[in-house]
Amino acid sequence: MDSSRPPIYLFTDGASSGNPGPGGYGVVLKCGGYSREMSGGYALTTNNRMELMAVIVGLETVKWQNADITVVSDSSYVVNAVNKGWVFNWEKKGFSKARNPDLWIRFLKIYRQHRVRFQWIKGHAGHPENERCDALAVAAGAGAVAAGKKLPEDTGYTCTLENGNS
């Protein structure tokens, strides 16, 4: 660990209303005394895509190389995929039977630029940052619908973020 740089904590959550349905992700990044919130919404997505998207967006926000990052998530899907090595096995098999391969490929690219640890926490259990991430995710999903976005055709739920990024 580079002792000149403080550790980074990413608190993440995803939500969807229906599975698939409109959804969003929320991220709270904390580093030293600094805090930043991020969110985005999709017109058609799944909960697992939003959970993973929250982690990706949080990691992509970090501009240092080889940063010491702890991701705190209530997503067993994401935490177990990394901590139990599932994502690395999916990668070896070309993601042939994995869900959300587009996001897992994007995740691995940024994941490998840092030292990342995952910590699972129980959702909706009063953890302040997790509750905030949930509120951001729900609001972003509602915003995608309120913006009058038409639901895209089913292309494996690879959708465009409300702000135009993919």
Task: Provide the annotated active-site residues.
Answer: 13-14, 51, 74, 124, 134
- Strand partners of residue 36: 29
Distances (CA, A) of 82 to 46, 52, 114: 19, 11, 14
Instruction: Tell me the three state secondary structure of residue 72.
Output: strand
Instruction: Tell me the three state secondary structure of residue 70.
Output: strand
166, with CB counted inside 10 A (0-12, 13-18, 19+), is exposed
Distances (CA, A) of 114 to 7, 40, 71, 94, 119: 11, 23, 12, 23, 16
Q: What is the CA radius of gyration of the chain?
A: 15
What dihedral do alpha carbons 13, 15, 121, 131 form, nearest 10°? 70
Which residue's entry shows tokens 């609001």?
139
